[in-house]
Amino acid sequence: DVKVTQSSRYLVKRTGEKVFLECVQDMDHENMFWYRQDPGLGLRLIYFSYDVKMKEKGDIPEGYSVSREKKERFSLILESASTNQTSMYLCASRRLAGVLGNEQFFGPGTRLTVL
């Protein structure tokens, strides 16, 4: 079974702090994704990566950056956390883009609170 793990289930940070959210997948998937989930808004794509050292902006990249130095690890960085970044953050991975049947597998999520 595919396993996507996220470094923390719950995180509390202060405004202005630099925050790192880590995601690791164990199935050698090329594609990885970061979403945020807010009540009534569904999941919104922040950034994604087709492969190592590649990154693409999603629908709401402002205030975030990412790093993909190794295939299994995709990090989401909040350079200076703000209260409007309080949210549930979900990481996902997928084997290959554009291939029918290649679903995205999600981690359990990190609930981040910025005070």
Partner 1 sequence: GQQLNQSPQSMFIQEGEDVSMNCTSSSIFNTWLWYKQDPGEGPVLLIALYKAGELTSNGRLTAQFGITRKDSFLNISASIPSDVGIYFCVVGANSKLTFGKGITLSVRP
Minimum Å gap between C-beta 85 and partner 1 is 19
Assess contact for 19 and 112: CB atoms under 8 A. yes
Which amino acid makes up residue 73? Answer: R
Which one, 14 or 97, has the nearer CB to partner 1?
97
Q: How far apart are CA 69 and CA 51, in angstroms?
A: 9
Q: Between β-strands 4-6 and 10-13, what pairing exists: parallel, antiparallel or unpaired?
A: unpaired
Residue 58 burial by Cβ neighbours in a 10 Å radius (0-12, 13-18, 19+) = middle
Q: Rule CB under 8 A: choose which of 58, 67, 86, 95 binds partner 1.
A: 58
Minimum Å gap between C-beta 87 and partner 1 is 14
Q: Interaction with partner 1 in 74-93: which residues (CB under 8 A)?
A: 90, 92
Look at the block and give the residue holding tokens 């594609």: 31
Q: Rule CB under 8 A: choose which of 41, 54, 79, 80 binds partner 1.
A: 41
List of residues contacting partner 1 (CB under 8 A)? 4, 31, 35, 40-45, 48, 50, 58-59, 90, 92, 97-98, 100-101, 103-104, 106-109
